[in-house]
């Protein structure tokens, strides 16, 4: 991965973190979503939940200070914030299934024009599995998806209809890519913001699914 790709990932994560409000309970998926933790304002009282049994997940530890028994659901080392706690996976998934999460930020392979999410498998390839994605997508009060706008072949990942196996139907509320911020509302896609240096017409050309142009499209700062 080049430095430009790394910068784009952090730009997406920083914008996603702006959706997090003080006092929320939030679950961050693996990949770009985990980077959002670095952009939560320090004065916010936000509880980061991990489905492997942590409430109060903290930042990544300094090199050499990793605790081999403390990791997130993706297996990456983390720390525990003050007041954080451990629980078994049954309790952790119970929190999800009861609808107690204010938000989840997830990566995706595809999102459809109706807000369907495909993020767990590419047929024929080995993957770690579904994890908690199906519960998170259906039960979190708000589902934010972060991903690149185009796949490695230059094709739109925002589809008229998903071509990959679905994680959940009509679950996505907001899509944040390296090109745009798109709201999913009443099974319609509304272009709300564009990432510099792109213009609204660039995003619309690059998106397979039909987009509605908001009357006040903004540029992401």
pLDDT of residue 60: 84
Catalytic residue, from 21, 51, 65, 135: name it.
Answer: 51
pLDDT of residue 73: 85
Spatial contact of 167 and 104, defined as CB atoms under 8 Å apart: no
Say how far apart CA 195 and CA 68 lie, in whole Å.
38
Active site residue 51: yes
pLDDT of residue 2: 43
Say how far apart CA 183 and CA 115 lie, in whole Å.
9
CATH architecture assignment, domain 3-219: 3-Layer(aba) Sandwich (3.40)
The predicted model scores a pTM of 0.93
Beta strands (DSSP E) in the chain are 25-28, 47-50, 54-57, 80-86, 103-107, 110-112, 117-118, 143-146, 158-159, 174-176, 180-185, 188-194, 212-219
Say how far apart CA 195 and CA 12 lie, in whole Å.
9
Backbone angles phi, psi at 8, to 5 degrees: -65, -40
Say how far apart CA 109 and CA 116 lie, in whole Å.
11
pLDDT of residue 146: 98
Residue 188 has a CB neighbour count (10 Å cut-off) of: 14
Domain boundaries, the chain: 3-219
Strand partners, 85: 55
58: cis peptide before it, omega within 30°?
no
* pLDDT one digit per residue (tens) for the chain, 221 residues: 444 576 999 999 999 999 999 999 999 998 899 999 989 999 999 999 999 999 999 888 999 999 999 998 888 899 999 999 999 999 999 999 999 999 999 999 999 999 999 998 888 777 666 778 999 999 999 999 999 999 999 999 999 999 999 999 999 999 999 999 999 999 999 999 999 999 999 999 999 999 999 999 999 87
């Amino acid at each position: 991965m080049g430095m430009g790709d790394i910068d784009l990932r952090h730009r997406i994560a920083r914008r996603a973190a702006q959706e997090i409000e003080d006092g929320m309970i939030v679950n961050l998926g693996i990949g770009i979503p985990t980077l959002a933790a670095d952009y939560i304002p320090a004065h916010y009282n936000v509880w980061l939940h991990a489905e492997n049994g942590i409430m109060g997940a903290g930042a990544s530890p300094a090199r050499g200070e990793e605790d081999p028994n403390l990791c997130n659901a993706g297996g990456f080392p983390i720390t525990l914030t003050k007041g954080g706690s451990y629980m078994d996976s049954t309790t952790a998934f119970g929190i999800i299934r009861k609808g107690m999460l204010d938000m989840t930020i997830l990566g995706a392979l595809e999102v459809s024009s109706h807000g369907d999410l495909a993020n767990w498998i590419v047929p024929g390839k080995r993957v770690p599995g579904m994890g908690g994605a199906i519960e998170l997508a259906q039960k979190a009060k708000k589902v934010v998806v972060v991903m690149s706008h185009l796949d490695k072949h230059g094709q739109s990942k925002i589809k008229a209809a998903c071509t990959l196996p679905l994680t959940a139907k009509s679950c996505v509320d907001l899509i944040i890519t390296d090109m745009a911020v798109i709201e999913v509302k009443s099974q319609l896609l509304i272009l709300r913001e564009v990432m510099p240096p792109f213009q609204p017409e660039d995003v619309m050309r690059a998106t397979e699914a039909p987009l509605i142009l908001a009357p006040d499209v903004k540029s992401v700062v």
